[in-house]
């Protein structure tokens, strides 16, 4: 299947509604189930894998490439909810507890605080013999402790993020 054909199918699937429940926690037909796929995608993203070139992500999505991002979201956690199935499409809700986002400023990065909850509905389509994520095409969502260990934050922002983690009982400093 041509990559643009897969993208057109994914966009069409995104426009569809969802009904029914998915019971897909185990592997199906040798490939990862939709819920397991989304869970692994979110976990790997949260651990910072998408902050550099990560070929695995392009193997599980319908878009042809991941763009370079000048900023990314900082999260305190996430929850992958129960899947809902309609035909060959599965919808998996993911809720992120956002702390803010990181904006690149040359050799360092700046933390912009914006504490809220993000709700997204991942669309997973059965394209051929495997499940692929068709939407949403989000920028990276990285756990705050990973940001502290891997991002060259200015001192004030590093202290702010460490304080947030400390209050939440998650600081490992």
Looking at the domain that runs over 3-167, which CATH code has it been given?
3.10.450
Buried b / exposed e along 76-112 (16+ C-beta atoms within 10 A): bebebeebbbeeebbbbebebebbbbbeeeeeebebe
pLDDT interval class at 170 (50, 70, 90): low
Residues 137-159 have a mean pLDDT of 93
* DSSP string over 81-147: ---EEETTEEEEEEEEEEEEEEEEETTEEEEEEEEEEEEEEEEEEEETTEEEEEE--PPPEEEHHHH
> Binning pLDDT at 50, 70 and 90, where does residue 32 land?
confident
DSSP state, residue 60: S
Q: Where are the domains of the chain?
A: 3-167
pLDDT at 5 over 70: no
Sort strands 108-127 and 71-80 into parallel, antiparallel or unpaired: unpaired
Task: Give the whole-number percent of the chain exceeding pLDDT 70.
Answer: 80
pLDDT digits (tens, 9 = 90+) for 67-78: 777 899 999 999
Which tops the pLDDT comparison, 151 or 39? 39
Tokens read off for 54: 């990560």
Q: What is the pLDDT of residues 99-145, one digit of tens each?
A: 999 998 777 789 999 999 999 999 999 988 889 999 999 999 999 99
Place 66 in a pLDDT band, splitting at 50, 70 and 90: confident
Whole-angstrom distance, CA of residue 103 vs CA of residue 73:
9
Stretch among 12-21, 73-82, 163-172 having the lowest mean pLDDT = 12-21
pLDDT, position 151: 87
Predicted confidence at residue 117, as pLDDT, reads: 98
């Amino acid at each position: 299947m041509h990559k643009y054909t897969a993208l057109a199918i994914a966009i069409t699937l995104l426009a569809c509604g969802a009904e029914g429940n998915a019971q897909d926690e185990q592997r199906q037909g040798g490939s990862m189930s939709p819920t397991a796929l989304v869970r692994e995608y979110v976990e790997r993203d949260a651990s910072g894998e998408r902050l550099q070139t990560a070929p695995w992500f392009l193997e599980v999505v319908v878009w042809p490439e991941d763009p370079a991002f000048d900023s990314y979201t900082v999260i305190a956690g996430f929850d992958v909810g129960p899947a809902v199935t309609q035909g060959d499409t599965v919808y998996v809700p993911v809720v992120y507890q956002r702390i803010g986002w990181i904006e690149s400023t040359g050799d360092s990065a700046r933390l912009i605080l914006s504490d809220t909850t993000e709700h997204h509905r991942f669309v997973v389509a059965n394209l051929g013999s495997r499940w692929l994520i068709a939407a949403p095409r989000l920028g990276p969502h990285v756990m705050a402790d990973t940001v502290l260990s891997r991002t060259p934050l200015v001192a004030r922002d590093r202290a702010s993020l460490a304080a947030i983690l400390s209050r939440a009982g998650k600081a490992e400093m």
